[in-house]
Amino acid sequence: MMKDPAPHMDYPAMIDDAMRSVVRRALTQVATQGLPGDHHFYISFLTTFPGARLSPQLRERFPQEMTIVIQHQFWDLQVDEDQFSVMLSFNNIPEKLVIPYASLTAFADPSIKFGLQFHTRRTPAATPMSEASFDATPLIPDNGSEDTTEGTAQVISLDAFRKK
């Protein structure tokens, strides 16, 4: 009879959990006190991850991964232990997103050149990490900033915020 392989310490999962707690604490601070100074967040997540909720229109446009921006215009930021929810405007249409922390693939605060990249846990409905990367082209919601065309999303690259 073969013995099961020895259990091992899953350090990548432990590190991801610790980094997700950084995101949770940052969002909690923003929910209670607002965004300080020039801080703003780019948050990438898997749209197919169990518990991720977004409108059918957004899911159709972003069938695997999406990046949102928490900056000038966002509403009803609710931070829970395992997920957060937020209202954002996409082409002048308010949308509520529910995002489990376990679905996160990246978090960045460009104002201080801070970024985190996560190992995505494999689940039947989630995209493997090899297909979900920090290099994905994100969507920027219509957030009312000067560099946003009225009612139109802009595309950016997060490569500028990666450590080289």
Contacts of 59 (CB under 8 A, 6+ apart): 47
Number of structural domains found in the chain = 1
Which range of residues forms the domain containing residue 84?
Answer: 12-31+39-161
**Assigned domain for 59 exists:** yes
Residue 91 has pLDDT above 80, yes or no: yes
Instruction: For the chain, give the number of residues.
Output: 164
Task: Count CB-CB contacts under 10 A for residue 89.
Answer: 17
pLDDT (0 to 100) of residue 73? 86
What's the pLDDT score for residue 148? 36
In a domain, 7, yes or no: no
The confidence band for 18, taking pLDDT boundaries of 50, 70 and 90, is very high
Q: Which helix (H) or strand (E) holds 19?
A: helix 11-33
A 10 A CB-CB count for 42 gives 21
At 110-155, the pLDDT tens digits run 999 999 999 765 443 433 333 333 333 344 444 444 333 333 333 3
Provide DSSP, 86-118. EEEEETTEEEEEEEEGGGEEEEEEGGGTEEEE-
Residue 6 lies in a domain: no
CATH number at residue 78: 2.30.30.220
Q: Is residue 21 situated within a structural domain?
A: yes
